[in-house]
Chain A
Amino acid sequence: MSAIITLSLLAVLLLYLGLFKAKKALLPVSLLGLLAAIVLYSIQWDTDAEPLYSGMVLFDHFAVAFSILSLFITGLVFLLSRDYFDSISEHVAEYYALIIFSLTGALLVVSFHNLAMLFIGIEIMSVALYILVGIRKRDFSSNEAALKYFLMGAFSTGFLLFGITLIYGATGSFDLTEIKNYLIANPHSISPLFYSGILLLIIGLSFKVGAAPFHFWTPDVYEGAPILITTFMSTVVKTAAFAGFLRLFLTCFVPLQDFWAPVLLVITVLTLFIGNISALAQQSFKRMLAYSSISHAGYMLFGILSIGAASAGAIFVYSAAYSIASVVAFAVLILVKRSRGSEHFEAFNGLAAKNPYLAFTLSVAMLSLAGIPLTAGFVGKFMMFSGVLANYHIVLLLLAVLNAAMGIYYYFRVIVAMYFRPADREEVTVNANYKAVLFIGALLTIAIGIFPSLLAGWL
C-alpha cells in the first residue's frame, strides 16, 4: 500500500515541479519515485499476505510480482521519454503525472480483492490514458484515437459495471472471498444472474484487453497515439488488465469453468486469427505491432483458458517477455521515425549497415516476439502451451502453433528489411538513455531465454 501512496504523492509532486518550471528535475524525480516503489514492494515479498482495509486489496506474491513488472516497464518507458514530450508541448510535467496516475490504477488492478477496487483501478488507468492518447492536440489522428478510445472505453465500462451488478445481485457482496464462498456453498443452485454476470464481465474485460471481436478500436488507437504512449498502453496497461482478468477468474470463477471456458475459447481463437492475419497485410511497422499485440492477447488468453496453479506464472513470464520486447521495438521505431519521418517497413531498409547496434537489438526483440528459442518469448510461449497441453486441448495447441508460424513471417520482414535491403541513409543518432534501454531490453530478453528460472520461479 505504501508504494501506491508514494506513487500518488509522486504524481502530485511532479505537477508542482511543472508549476515551478523545474523541467530538468522531472525525469530523475520520477525514476527515483518508481525505484522507491519497487523497493517498497520488494520488502513486502516475504510478509504474509492478508486482505487489507476490510478486504479491499491483497498484496500476495501475484500482486507484488505484477506490480514490480509494471513499475519496471514504466521505468523503461520513462527513460525513452527524454526529448520526446518536449517536442509535443511545454506541459511536460502533466504527461509524467498522468502516466504515474495510470500506473497507480494498474497497480490497483493487479492487487484488488474487491470488485469495487477492480472497477476504480481500471477506470483510473483508462481515464488517464484517454487523455494521454490525445496529447498531440493538433494532430488529427491523435484526436481521433483519443475520441475512439474514450467512446469504446466508456461503452465497455458499462458492460463491466452491469456484470459486476449482476454478480452482486446473485451473491450480495463485492468481496472476492464472499463470491467464492457463495459458489462453493451452492454448487447446484447458482443464481442465473451469476451466469449473465460472468458473460458481461468477459465482454467488458475483453474490450479492455483488446481481444477479438472487441478489438476493433486497438489498431486505430495504437496507431494514432504518440508512440511512447502506445508503448505504455501495449505493455503496462495490457499486462495489468490481463493480471486483473486472471486474478478475478482464478480467485472466484474456477468452479464454473465448464460454463465460461467455451466462450473464452471462441474469443481466444478469433483473437489469434484476426490478429495474425491482419498483421500479415500491414505496411506500417506501428500498425503491425498493434495487430501483433492483439495476437499476443490471444496467446495470453490461453493462460486464462487453461486456468490452474501454473497459469499465473505463465502469464507473468509471457507478459514480461512481451513487454520488454515491445519496449525495445517501439524505442527503435521512435528513433527511425525521428530520422526518416516514416513508420513503414521501408524506413528500416539498410539500418544494419549504419546502426548495427540498433539493428541487433531490434532483431533480438523481434525474435523474442516471434518466440524463437533462446529468447524470453520462447520461454513464455512454451509455458503457455504446456499449460494448454496439460488440459488436453490438442486442437487448440495446433492452432496456436500455426499462428506462431504466421507470426514468424511478419516479424522477420523487419529483420530482412534491416539486413538485406540496401538503402542510402544517414546514421541514426542514439542518445544515452535509448542506448541504455535497448541494452537492458536485449540483455534481459536473452538472459530470460537462457535462464528461464530467473522469472519462472517468482510465481
Chain B
Amino acid sequence: MSVFYFVAFLSIFFALMTIFTKNAVHSVLYLVITFFTFTIHYILLNAQFLAVVNFIVYMGAIMVLFLFVLMLLNLNKDTEPLKSNLIKIIGVIAGLCLVVTIAGSLKLLETSNPVVLKDPGIGLVSNLGKVLFSEFLLPFEISSILLLTAMVGAVLLAKNETKKI
C-alpha cells in the first residue's frame, strides 16, 4: 500500500519538474521519468499488458520523437522567456480550481472502497485480447483510419516542398 503513495509522490514531483523546468530537453527527460512511474502504477494494478505498452509506446516511441524534434530544431537552449506573472498565476489558479472541484466531488462520495482486484487476470494479454477483438472490434478497425490519416498528414506537412508556391 505504501508503495502506491511513494510512487504517486514521485509522479507528482517529476510532473511538476516537467512543466517548471526552463530547458526543454530537461523537461523531456523528466517526462520520461514520470512515464516510468506510471508504468510502475500499471504493474501495481496488475495491468501487465498496459505496463509493457506504456513502456514501449510512451517512453520509447513518443518520447524519442520529442527528443528527436528538439535536437533536429536545435532547441536545447534555455532561452524560452516565460509568460508574464499574471498569466502564470491565472494558469495555476485555473489548475487548482480543477483539482478542488474534483476533490470536492470526491468528498461527497460516501464510501471510499479500496481497490480490490475482483479478477486479477483482467489486465493480462489473453483477457484483453478477447475483449478487444470481440466487443471493441469496430473501434479497433476504425482506429486504423486514424493512424493512416496521421501518417499521410505528417508526411504531407513535414515534407520539404521543392516547388515554390
Contact = CB atoms under 8 A, between A and B. Distances in A.
- Please tell me whether chains A and B touch each other in their complex, using a CB distance cut-off of 8 A: yes
B137 interface: yes
A120 B142 CA distance: 8
Q: Bin chain B's interface residue count.
A: 20 to 34
A147 B18 CA distance: 22
A57 B165 CA distance: 43
Contact of A101 (B109, B145, B157, B165): B145
Contacts of A137: 157, 161, 165
Interface in A187-220: 191-193, 195-196, 199
A108 B143 CA distance: 11
B38 to A, nearest CB: 15
Q: Bin chain A's interface residue count.
A: 35 or more
Contacts of B109: 191-193
B150 A127 contact: yes
Interface string A114-143: 101100110110011011001111100000
Nearest to A138: B165
Interface stretch (B22-30, B43-51, B98-106): B98-106
A124 B152 contact: no
Given A54-B137, A101-B149, A124 B165 contact: no
B146 A196 contact: no
Interface string B124-165: 000000000011111100110110111011001100010101
B137 A128 contact: no
Interface string B91-115: 0000000000110011011000000
Given A54-B135, A90-B163, A195-B105, A124 B146 contact: yes
B153 A98 contact: yes
Contacts of B139: 56, 114, 116-117, 120
Contacts of B148: 12, 101
Contacts of B105: 192-193, 195-196
A20 interface: no
A391 interface: no
Interface string B72-100: 00000000000000000000000000000
12 contacts: A53-B138, A89-B165, A104-B145, A114-B139, A116-B139, A120-B143, A124-B145, A127-B146, A130-B153, A138-B165, A193-B109, A196-B101
